[in-house]
Each structure stands twice: as structure tokens, then as C-alpha cells.
């Protein structure tokens, strides 16, 4: 990449699972990357291999407080994204989504920078429309245990579009569906990491409910490609745009694929379904195909192989 095309890019939550992969890819494209994280769920281990890169900078900072830097683009990924983590301190989760959005939007307004919000499929709640298109407004319990995340992200979307309408800010909103891959935390409570870690430890695999609820799993490399393509669109493309894999699996089917990939004989056990846990989750990605020329390319079996290898190396199993 020629020097004239180099951009200064801020990634909040950049030491997290998705954020670290995004930082890595942006550096490969020749940009200067400022990674900001308070390490609530992110970890320095995820970006240790980037610290010697002269175009990478790591800053410990909480986005609920203002940040004063000079950048050209902002990817706002800061927020715990798994139920175990975001329910640990629900008030802080909401503040991260809402105050963090206000602070990053204020920074973008001052700099006239383009800004992308990492929103979530959780804005659809427990959906009555399947698969979920961007035009669907969702079905969310505003007072349930998941509301700190669901409603925090919904409010952040509102703020982004109000800044766009009121101040002409160049915004992009991505609604991220279930994503998996290397650098997931083994204790984050997400279904893919839970199943892999339990299988590698020869522990029973825990299914919540009857295991017939569905999810759609997107490999992290595909997701990062979608984020970068969305950021590169013209200013009239704001989103929201669904980013996820439209291939749908039951949780039981995922468990069987994990058992096949790990080669272990863990039994399946059932626990009660958590409150407000969605029964169905599948993205309608027609808009992403049309606007971004994007769709996932990594099949679940291939992505699980990469992810199991990562957890084997991390746990020594």
C-alpha cells in the first residue's frame, strides 16, 4: 500500500476476540492502528504478536471516558459480548454501549472521521421473524437479564443514526451474528468455546434446553472481512447491515460436530434454558451481498478445525 493511502485507524475493544483479528488485518493492509482496550474481557495476549510492529499502538483506556486522539477512522467494538461477561456487571455493560458510543461519536464529530459501530444480532431479541432482516425491529425484553447488552446496543444504534441525521456524521452500523474462532476466551460462556473446552477436557457437554434452538456460526476471518468492506462503502451506505453466516444449525448439531472434530466421547447433558435465550437466530444477508459483495466462505467444519487446534494449543489438551 502506498504511503498516501495509509490511514490512522482506531479500534476500540481492539484486544478482544474480534478486535485483535481486525487490528491484525488492518495492519496487513498497511494502516496505522491504535488499539484501545480496558482489558475487562480483552487481553494483551491477543495482540502480543503485534507489539513490535511500528505501525501498531496499544492504549489502555475505558471508552466510558472521553478519548482525545487524532485518527481517520474508528471501529467501535468495545463492549463485553458474551452473557457471562456482560451480566457480570450489567450497569457497566450498558454504560459501555451508551457512554462509549457518545464518546466515540463525539470524537468522530470533532475529527470528521468515519465511524463504524459493532452492533449485534441481539437487537432482534427472541425473534418472531425468521431469518432476521435489517428491517425487523426485534422482540426484546427491556427488563430481563440480557437487556443490559440488548438495549445498550439498540440505544447505541439510535445514537449513531441521530448523530448522522443531526451532524452529518459518516456512520456505518454492522449487526454481528454469532462469531467464533481462535482467541475466544475459554470461559466466556459462548456455545462454541464451551463445547470445545468441555470436549477437550472429557467433560460432559452442556446443552441448555432441548438443544433444538438454532444458531448461525460465522468464522472470525469472514466477519472481519465484512467489517472492513462495510467501512469502505460510500457515505450514503450507513447500514444497519447484517454480518453473519446464514447456514443454520441446531445446538445439538453443533455439539456433534465438535465431538467429531475433537475425537472425544463426552456425553451430552441438558440444563434449563436461560431466561430470554433466543430460540432461533439466522441472518438474512441479502443486503451484505448486494452492498458489500460479501458472504461467508469458511464452512463450520473448517472453522471448527482451526478453533479446536487453537484451544488444544492453549490448554495443552
**Over the stretch 239-269, which tens digit does the pLDDT of each residue have?**
999 999 999 999 999 999 999 999 988 999 9
83 is written with which cell numbers? 452473557
Per-residue pLDDT for 96 more than 50?
yes
Say how many CA atoms lie within 13 Å of 14 toward its Cβ.
27
Our measurement of the distance from residue 135's CA atom to the centroid of its chain's CA atoms, rounded to an integer in Å, reads: 20
Question: What residues contact residue 159 under an 8 Å CB cut-off, 6+ apart?
Answer: 98, 101, 102, 105
**Over the stretch 143-188, which tens digit does the pLDDT of each residue have?**
999 999 999 999 999 999 999 999 999 999 999 999 999 999 988 8
Give domain limits for the chain. Answer: 3-315
Considering the segment(s) 3-315 as one domain, its CATH architecture is 3-Layer(aba) Sandwich (3.40)
Cα distance between residue 101 and residue 55, in whole Å: 25
Per-residue pLDDT for 273 more than 80?
no
- Kindly report which listed range (150-159, 197-206, 273-282) carries the lowest average pLDDT score: 273-282
Task: List the end-to-end C-alpha distance of the chain, in Å, as a whole number.
Answer: 41
User: Position of cell 440505544?
Assistant: 155
Cα distance between residue 101 and residue 111, in whole Å: 15
Nearest residue to 61 via CA among 30, 88, 99, 26: 99
Cα distance between residue 51 and residue 57, in whole Å: 7
Q: Which residues are catalytic?
A: 149
Amino acid at each position: 500500500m502506498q504511503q498516501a493511502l495509509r490511514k490512522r485507524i482506531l479500534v476500540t475493544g481492539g484486544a478482544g476476540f474480534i478486535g485483535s483479528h481486525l487490528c491484525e488485518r488492518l495492519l496487513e493492509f498497511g494502516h496505522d492502528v491504535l488499539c484501545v482496550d480496558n482489558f475487562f474481557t480483552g487481553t494483551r495476549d491477543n495482540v502480543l504478536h503485534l507489539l513490535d510492529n511500528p505501525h501498531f499502538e496499544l492504549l489502555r483506556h475505558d471508552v466510558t471516558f472521553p478519548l482525545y486522539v487524532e485518527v481517520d477512522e474508528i471501529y467501535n467494538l468495545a463492549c463485553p459480548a458474551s452473557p457471562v461477561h456482560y451480566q457480570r456487571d450489567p450497569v457497566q455493560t450498558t454504560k459501555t454501549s451508551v457512554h462509549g458510543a457518545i464518546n466515540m461519536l463525539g470524537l468522530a464529530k470533532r475529527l470528521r472521521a468515519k465511524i463504524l459501530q459493532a452492533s449485534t444480532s441481539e437487537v432482534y431479541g427472541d425473534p418472531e421473524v425468521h431469518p432476521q432482516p435489517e428491517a425487523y425491529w426485534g422482540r426484546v425484553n427491556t427488563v430481563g437479564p440480557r437487556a443490559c447488552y440488548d438495549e445498550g446496543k439498540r440505544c447505541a444504534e439510535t445514537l449513531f443514526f441521530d448523530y448522522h441525521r443531526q451532524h452529518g456524521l459518516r456512520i456505518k452500523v454492522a449487526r454481528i451474528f454469532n462469531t467464533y474462532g481462535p482467541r475466544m476466551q475459554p470461559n466466556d460462556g459462548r456455545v462454541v468455546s464451551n463445547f470445545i473446552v468441555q470436549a477437550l477436557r472429557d467433560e460432559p457437554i452442556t446443552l441448555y434446553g432441548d438443544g433444538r434452538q438454532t444458531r448461525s456460526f460465522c468464522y472470525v476471518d469472514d466477519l472481519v472481512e465484512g467489517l472492513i468492506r462495510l467501512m469502505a462503502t460510500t457515505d450514503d451506505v450507513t447500514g444497519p447491515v447484517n454480518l453473519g453466516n446464514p447456514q443454520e444449525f441446531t445446538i445439538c448439531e453443533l455439539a456433534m460436530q465438535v465431538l467429531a472434530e475433537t475425537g472425544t466421547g463426552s456425553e451430552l447433558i441438558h440444563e434449563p434454558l436461560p431466561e430470554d435465550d433466543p430460540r432461533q437466530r439466522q441472518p438474512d444477508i441479502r443486503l451484505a451481498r448486494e452492498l458489500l459483495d460479501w458472504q461467508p466462505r469458511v464452512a463450520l467444519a473448517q472453522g471448527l478445525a482451526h478453533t479446536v487446534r487453537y484451544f488444544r494449543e492453549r490448554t495443552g489438551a
